[in-house]
Structure 1
Amino acid sequence: MSTTYRPTGPREFADRWAASLPPGARVGVDGAVEADTTWYADHLLAALRERARPVLVASWQGFWRPRSLRYEFGRDDPESYYGTWLDVPGLYREVLEPLGGPTSRWWVPSLYDPATDRASRARRQEVPDDAVLVLAGSFLLTNALRWGFDAVVHLTTSDAAVRRRVPAQDADRVLGGWHRYLEQDEPVEAAAVVLRCEDPRHPAELVQE
């Protein structure tokens, strides 16, 4: 089996993928550059809404741990960034498990406000059975987290492209954590779709032939 990359466009991809998502799907958009994950999530949201599909929107930042825990070993520690910034049990408890349940569905849109470094105080909400969750962030295909999603789009990006698109002071932390993720969790193998994202405006989709 050979692998190739087929050029596509963000909207073309989103339109095609939105049409294939079943009611109630829990979808992640996973990448090293947060702005890229948000941008692709926005395209997917637009495509779903054009089809009059109910959609839930979330970001991994809404489930970060407090700054005192994230920075326990320093702001720039890549191991902490990979392993402890995200409150995985909280994300499962308040979003992924209740949305994946067989009975009435509910969720809490966020637990944390990164702007204030305090609890977001978001309230539990009941949601339609057919609502699709779209969550953007990093490390969504770790061995601990991947089973909470029905499908994840994984964005691959070279180190040089990451350094061009994240703040200089964050690049070493982001790349260090991302390399650990790629080596330990093999997200390319687990993703439903892989997009090469050197330029987010001109992606290419991994195709196995």
Structure 2
Amino acid sequence: MTGGFRPVDRDGLAAHLGERITAVPGRLRVLVDGAPPTGPLGLARAVTDLLRGAGRDALAVDADHFLRPASVRLEFGRTDPDMFLDGWLDEPVLRREVLDPMAPGGSGRVLPRLRDVDRDRAFRDAPVPLGADGVVLLAGGRLLGRGLPADLTVHLRMGRAALERRLDPAAAWTAQAYARYEREGDPGGYADVLVMADHPERPALRDN
């Protein structure tokens, strides 16, 4: 049921997501979507800790470790907003190595990292086995609206003014791309959980 927003702190937000996940048996794929200042990876890791503490296999995966090689994603320069939106993320590999293994009948073996972006070379990580009730939480920006398979989706929304204040100066150019993502993709419109995160330490959430 769609309701109004209610304020929580970061711990409360993690606990809420943990409760939603715990209520569903079997393997789950959770997308935690948001620009870096909203802290999607930190939230995914907090939920992972809660699930593990309750005895459930869980793994947080950073989507930024699944980017295409620099020769592909930077073909039109380092600050091209169109490529940032649609050409950086290696979606086929994410499906094959992270999300499809957690589908019903999948192997349950999830690759935690693919590529070291700073060095532009592959990690040598082995797949992590997750049990029959395992949960993978894929965290990063620009994840929704791409048809990535998921059982629960979370969108952390930050307005452009707040985003421009909080982005690392080296990434300031991405504010334009994230604004377009919100405007054209409307990720909050169909996320299962929408979080208003202009003040990440004092979010407000709504279950859609």
TM-score by length of 1: 0.89
Aligned partner letter, 2:8: T
Q: What is the correspondence of 1:137-148 to structure 2 with a 5 Å cutoff?
A: 137-145=140-148, 148=149
User: Which of 11-20 and 80-89 deviates more?
Assistant: 11-20
SS of equivalent residue, structure 1 residue 188: helix
1:113 is matched with which residue: 98, 113, 116?
A: 116
How does the TM-score come out when normalised to structure 2?
A: 0.89
CA apart distance, 1:36: 1.1
Task: Give the letter for the 2:160 counterpart.
Answer: D
Judge conservation of contact 1:48–1:55 (CA < 8 Å) in 2. yes
Change (3 A) 1:103 1:45: closer
- Aligned partner letter, 1:202: R
Counterpart position of 1:63: 66
Q: What secondary structure, in the 3-state scheme, does the structure 1 residue paired with 2:4 have?
A: strand
Counterpart residue number, 2:29: 26
- The one-letter amino acid paired with 2:136 is L
Counterpart in 2 of 1:152? 153
- 8 Å contact kept, 1:53–1:131: yes
Tell me the residue number matched to 1:165. Answer: 166
Amino acid at match of 2:34: G
Task: Show structure 2 runs of 5+ residues with no match.
Answer: none
1:34, distance to aligned residue in structure 2 (A) = 5.4
8 Å Cα contact 1:6/1:207 also seen in 2: no
Question: Is the CA contact (8 Å cut-off) linking 1:29 and 1:136 kept in structure 2?
Answer: yes
The total of aligned residue pairs comes to 205
CA positional deviation for 1:72: 0.9
Match of 1:50 in 2: 53
Q: In percent, how many aligned pairs have the same letter?
A: 34
Deviation at 1:99, TM superposition (A): 1.1
2:104, 2:124 → 1: CA distance? 23
Secondary structure of 1:68's counterpart equals helix
Q: 1:24 to 1:198 in 2, by over 3 A?
A: same
Distance 1:156 1:74 in 2: 27
Q: Over residues 96-148 of structure 1, what are the superposed CA-to-partner deviations in whole Å (9 max), with x where a residue is unaligned?
A: 11111325422222221113210112223432121110111011112332xx1
Q: Tell me the equivalent position of 1:181.
A: 181
CA distance in structure 2 between the aligned counterparts of 1:140 and 1:178, rounded to whole angstroms: 11
Q: Which residue of 2 aligns with 1:99?
A: 102
SS of residue matched to 2:176: helix
Output the CA distance in 2 between the equivalents of 1:117 and 1:47. Answer: 33
User: How large is the RMSD of aligned CA atoms in angstroms?
Assistant: 2.0
In the alignment, the residues of structure 2 paired with residue 34 and residue 202 of structure 1 have an alpha-carbon distance, to the nearest angstrom, of: 13
- Corresponding residue SS for 2:39: helix
Structure 1 residue corresponding to 2:132, chosen from 126, 129, 134? 129
Cα distance, 1:3–1:94 mapped onto 2, change above 3 Å = same
Shift of 1:29: 1.0
Q: Which runs of 5+ in 1 are unaligned?
A: none
Distance 2:104 2:98 in 1: 10
Q: Which amino acid aligns with 1:188?
A: G
Moved more, 77-86 or 62-71: 62-71
For the 8 Å contact 2:10–2:202, the answer to whether it is kept is yes
CA distance in 2, matches of 1:168, 1:137: 18
Q: Which residue of 1 aligns with 2:193?
A: 193
